Amino acid sequence: MELSGVIMNFSILSFRFARTASLFQCKVPKYFCTCSTLRKEVPKNLKGKSKSSQEWLIRQMKDPYVEKARMSNYRCRSAFKLLEMNDKYNFLAAGQCVVDCGAAPGSWTQISVEKTNSLGSRRNEAIGRVIGIDCLSIYPIEGAILLNNMDFTSKEAQEKLLGHLQGQKVDVVLSDMAPNATGLKFMDHEKIIYLAYNVLRFSVQVSVVEGTMLVKIWDGQEADVLRKDIKRYYNNVKIVKPNASRSDSSEKYILARDFKGLGT
């Protein structure tokens, strides 16, 4: 992509960042990992809890991925979303550099450590590197660098990430980030699109040519605009909904592969 085209596209992205942020009268919307940390004991007594809390607990009890994650020592059921997508599209491999945006509680980081061999446990394979960042605290994960209590969208966080990369290009940028839901579909959609554009902006600055970006979105009118913007930078862009995603969830993932690079 020509440099002049890149400047124009970043202007478009910046406009969308500003427009979306203005909707919430804040500089940067807060985000969280939509997967709840697994509990070893499920409360048996629902008395006194709100209806929404009761529904959540009952859903957790019936969800096979919750127990499966616990048995596999993953911190969250969302691990199986990433595993499923990677099994199908094979974008994680030994020796890669991976950045996990909105990493808490750490299940995607756990998968990344395994797939990239960042611990060096497979001696005959290349050793990768994994960096996770979240505005929440993440319990340490061996084989990963974790940036806790840092808002990925902030300038400070971006500088911190670049400092840890030390000029190294990133093979895969992952994002399972989502905003705190208000229950208003339009507003929640705008918030998650804002986060996705931040991930895109970061990705095009740090990714290796032919690199991959995987970012979560929710259904809405801006999703197709985002997909088209991503196609400016990546040759292969797909909308993916893994089976591990709950059937009543509007979440989908945009899998962008084969980054074109900024100098092409």
User: Side chain identity at 165, as an amino acid letter?
Assistant: L
The partner residues of 130 in beta bridges, in order of sequence, read 98
What are the start-end ranges of the E strands in 44-193?
A: 97-101, 129-133, 145-147, 170-175, 177-179
Count the neighbouring beta carbons within 10 Å of the beta carbon of residue 30.
12
Q: Select which of 81, 115, 191, 216 is catalytic.
A: 216
- Residue 255 contacts residue 237 (beta carbons within 8 Å): yes
Pairwise CA distance, residues 235 & 37, whole Å: 35
Q: Give the three-state DSSP class for 52.
A: helix
- Is residue 216 among the annotated active site residues? yes
Which backbone phi and psi does 56 adopt, to 5 degrees? -65, -45
* Gyration radius (Cα) of the chain, Å: 18
- Two structure tokens written together for 168: 């190294």
Residue 43: cis peptide before it, omega within 30 degrees of 0: no
Which run of H or of E encompasses 64? helix 64-71
Pairwise CA distance, residues 108 & 119, whole Å: 15
By annotation, the residues acting in catalysis are 216
